[in-house]
């Protein structure tokens, strides 16, 4: 009898009776390792850290609930420093330092990050690949934003903007 993984269907071993072609099922070591964390319950941090790209979880007011290790590393902060921060404060937006602060200046109406988070909460619809720019730390970053909402929170994936062939070509000389 062949023993196969009930998740990935990988062959695990044979067991008696060896002449019985009927498969039986178990779980292989790889699938056990993958699913065991989910069975025991997984913290939001553990879930978010599975993503290679930066991820932000925000509430309906645009305040940070959690970030993953990739975002913490890219911003040079710890996960504990971000709880309750508005997006502009987390990303060190140059406009968030103005007297009215993040979300209340004339510049905030055009903020792609704020607009994606707000629309995702209000409409419940996900966004994929929304172009964005971030001016912070004397840098101009081109980004691509994707979002979805669950249980009143917005999960925002922040990736570098895709390059175009024209942008990839170097001028001669």
DSSP secondary structure code for residue 52 in this structure? S
Closest to 81 measured CA to CA, from 99, 102, 66: 66
Whether residues 14 and 55 fall in one domain = no
- The verdict on residue 18 lying in a domain is yes
Using an 8 Å Cβ cutoff, are 145 and 127 in contact?
Answer: yes
Whether residues 48 and 127 fall in one domain = yes
Residue 6's pLDDT is: 87
Whether residues 13 and 50 fall in one domain = no
Domain count, the chain: 2
- The verdict on residue 167 lying in a domain is no
Q: Which domain range does residue 96 map to?
A: 44-160
Q: In 59-126, at which residue ranges do the beta strands (DSSP E only) sit?
A: 64-67
Residue 65: give its domain's CATH number: 3.30.450.20
Whether residues 145 and 64 fall in one domain = yes
Whether residues 32 and 102 fall in one domain = no
Whether residues 11 and 48 fall in one domain = no
Distance CA 150, CA 83 (A): 18
Distance spanning both ends of the chain, measured CA to CA? 68
- The verdict on residue 51 lying in a domain is yes
Closest to 117 measured CA to CA, from 75, 91, 87, 92: 87
Residue 57's pLDDT is: 94
Which residues in the chain land under pLDDT 70? 37-38, 40, 137, 164-173
Whether residues 116 and 130 fall in one domain = yes
Residue 37's pLDDT is: 67
Distance CA 74, CA 56 (A): 12
Residue 128's pLDDT is: 96
- The verdict on residue 53 lying in a domain is yes
- The verdict on residue 170 lying in a domain is no
- The verdict on residue 10 lying in a domain is yes
Whether residues 53 and 121 fall in one domain = yes
Residue 167's pLDDT is: 46
Q: Per the structure block, which two tokens stand in for 127?
A: 């966004």
- The verdict on residue 165 lying in a domain is no
Strand, helix or coil for residue 58: strand
Distance CA 49, CA 31 (A): 19
Whether residues 51 and 89 fall in one domain = yes
Distance CA 79, CA 52 (A): 16
Residue 47's pLDDT is: 84
Residue 21's pLDDT is: 86
- The verdict on residue 49 lying in a domain is yes
Q: Per the structure block, which two tokens stand in for 108?
A: 């905030």
Q: Per the structure block, which two tokens stand in for 168?
A: 């990839």
Whether residues 107 and 73 fall in one domain = yes
Interval 89-122: pLDDT, tens:
888 888 888 899 888 889 889 889 999 999 999 9
């Amino acid at each position: 009898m062949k023993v196969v993984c009930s998740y990935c269907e990988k062959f695990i071993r044979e067991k008696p009776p060896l002449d019985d072609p009927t498969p039986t099922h178990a779980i292989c070591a790889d699938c056990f390792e993958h699913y065991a964390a989910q069975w025991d319950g997984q913290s939001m941090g553990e879930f978010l850290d599975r993503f290679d790209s930066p991820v932000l979880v925000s509430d309906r007011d645009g305040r940070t609930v959690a970030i993953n290790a990739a975002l913490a590393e890219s911003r040079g902060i710890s996960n504990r420093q971000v709880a309750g921060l508005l997006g502009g404060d987390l990303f060190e937006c140059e406009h968030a330092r103005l007297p009215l602060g993040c979300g209340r200046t004339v510049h905030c109406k055009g903020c792609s990050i704020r607009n994606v988070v707000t629309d995702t909460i209000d409409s419940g619809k996900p966004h994929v690949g929304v172009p964005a720019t971030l001016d912070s730390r004397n840098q101009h970053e081109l980004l691509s934003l994707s979002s979805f909402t669950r249980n009143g929170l917005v999960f925002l994936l922040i990736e570098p903007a895709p390059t175009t062939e024209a942008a990839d070509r170097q001028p001669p000389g």
